[in-house]
A = this chain, B = another copy of it.
Amino acid sequence: MRGLDDTDREIVRLLLADSRRPFSDIAEEVGLSAPAVSDRVDRLREMGVVRGFTLDLDRSLLRSGVPVLLEIDAEPGRATAVRDALAGADAVEHVFRTADGRVTATATVPQTEVTELLDTHVDLADVDGYEVRLVADSEWSPGLGTAEFAPECAECGNTVDEEGERTVLDGDTYYFCCGSCESRFVERYESLKEGA
């Protein structure tokens, strides 16, 4: 399995700054041909590193309600359930789940109808307590740093290095640290699918 090289990182950095920049332009910048850049971008999308091309919007200019920051302390083991419930809500933009079982989310709600948002989307039995703060402003600086490509093994959770494997199952990409983790996962996946 191949990771990211410096050229990949440079391409990502350039597209992060302007995703509509012509590949031919980027090609010149990184010393490649346009088709080569196109191929690399395709690969990055397949790898799942690049999820898509999108816009950076200034939401402070758009009024569709009141922007709020939600801090929810989930009941033990229910943080991922709360995260999923929130992520499914239209009004919610960001969801961060932290290791201490808290879910922090940003949303824009009609008035201060946050209670309603929680009520309709989140099972309140999952929630230990929560706080709501009004967002005054927010910034986003998409950067890359010296990022390495290092997914987690879908089977054992270890970091996957260059020796790892990649498998696409029903359109989703999974990474594995070794062949045995891969076959174990695929086997389990197949039998679960058969049962369903």
Contacts and interface: CB of A to CB of B under 8 A. Distances in A.
Interface string A92-107: 1111111110101010
Give the contact-size bracket for chain A: 35 or more
B148 A64 contact: yes
Interface string A1-39: 000100000001001111110000000000000000000
Contacts of A63: 147-150, 159
Given A52-B18, A55-B16, A141 B62 contact: no
Interface string A66-92: 000100000000010001000100111
Nearest to A94: B140
B18 A53 contact: yes
Given A143-B93, A146-B64, A56 B57 contact: no
Given A49-B58, A133-B98, A64 B140 contact: no
Interface of A: 4, 12, 15-20, 47-65, 69, 79, 83, 87, 90-100, 102, 104, 106, 108, 133-152, 159, 175
